[in-house]
Amino acid sequence: MTEVEREVFGQMPQEEGGGVVEKFILKSDSVKVEILSLGCIIAALETKGRDGEFSDVVLGFDTLEGYTRKHPFFGAVVGRVANRIAKGRFTVDGKEYQLFLNNGPNSLHGGARGFDKVLWSPQVLPNGVRFFRLSPDGEEGYPGDLKVWVTYTLSGRELAINYRAQTSKTTPINLTNHAYFNLAGQGSRDIYDHEISIEADSYLPVDNVKIPTGEVAAVQGTSFDLRQPVELGKHLQKFRLDGFDHNFCLQQTQTRRLVARAHHPPTGRAMEVHTTQPGIQFYTGNNLDGSLKGKGAVVYPKHSAFCMETQNWPDAVNKPHFPDTLLRPGEEYNHTTWFVFTIT
């Protein structure tokens, strides 16, 4: 059985439009997750280790203030389009659209005020919570009124996130959750002792501003071959890597499949990622720099967490040979990702 509780988390500042931010607590025997109505943010996720003790394994803040200031999308649902769009520009039906540039020369995670920075309307379910919002035509430069539903459900050890959307005009869409995980417990120094595997035969090489070059490259014989588990710290050292921030290309099928796994041998915590999406952005917190104070007043240094962002491929709207990222009127965008927490 899953218990669902709701409580007030805080009040948005007036300059952000005011409004009450609620927190929804989903509890099973083995997992407890806290989700905010601001940005559908996963603010805490507690799971058991081998010792039977719960630890919070996601980065974030104790108070609303942390989330209303600039932060690297901790736990949030990002959109309308997650990841980068080159030069913030794309063309749909012969019309060019220009987005706000918030990542060097590119648009990242929906723009200046993406889905992570707005209040969503919640509805409590027997085993979870569903959030809804209407993204109006022209918001952040995107075409069409977009209705979006994000549903979190907890069943035993499994947290499912379902994303649905419908639009009045053809628009690119790519939704994901941007949780930062550290299976040793948030506030742990680094993720070097984590074992990571990703079920991908190919990945997308990127240019110096992290835009895919268009090539779909085989992982075989490269540092991107994570098909067998690697110990992250040793792997980064062996290949002299600064970290990962790359899209791994998954088998393209609409059915649920296991795509990635993270394991922390010292605590026994493991997390499987299953999805219906065509890609997963594996990011190792390269831009964390210790300047942010998180939960319990701990700082988050470089490589102190990783993200497994299930999604469409970056800049797909400008790359015809990438999986289609356009949603058309009369169609429904519908994707699900499952995080399964186990002890080994």
Q: How far apart are CA 98 and CA 252, in angstroms?
A: 29
163 annotated ligand-binding residue: no
Q: CA-CA distances (angstroms) from residue 159 to 93, 109, 187, 339, 341?
A: 38, 23, 22, 5, 8
Half-sphere exposure of 71 (CA within 13 A, CB side): 27
160 annotated ligand-binding residue: no
Judge whether 321 counts as a catalytic residue.
no
Per DSSP, what are the bridge partners of residue 344?
none
Give the number of other CB atoms < 10 A from CB of residue 17: 9
Q: CA-CA distances (angstroms) from residue 62 to 58, 75, 94, 266, 307?
A: 12, 13, 46, 26, 20
Q: How far apart are CA 336 and CA 176, in angstroms?
A: 10
335 annotated ligand-binding residue: no
Backbone angles phi, psi at 334, to 5 degrees: -150, 110
Q: 142-161 burial string, b = 16+ CB within 10 Å, else e?
A: bbbbbebbbbbbbbebbbbb
The residue with tokens 């218990």 is 3
Judge whether 178 counts as a catalytic residue.
yes
Whether the bond into 80 is cis, omega within 30 of 0:
yes
300 annotated ligand-binding residue: no
217 annotated ligand-binding residue: no
Q: How far apart are CA 98 and CA 219, in angstroms?
A: 34
Q: Which of 178, 263, 274, 303 is catalytic?
A: 178
Q: How far apart are CA 118 and CA 135, in angstroms?
A: 10
Say if CB 116 and CB 148 are below 8 A apart: no
180 annotated ligand-binding residue: yes
Residue numbering of the annotated binding site: 83-84, 178-180, 245
Residues catalogued as catalytic: 178, 309
Residue numbering of the annotated binding site for beta-D-galactose: 83-84, 178-180, 245
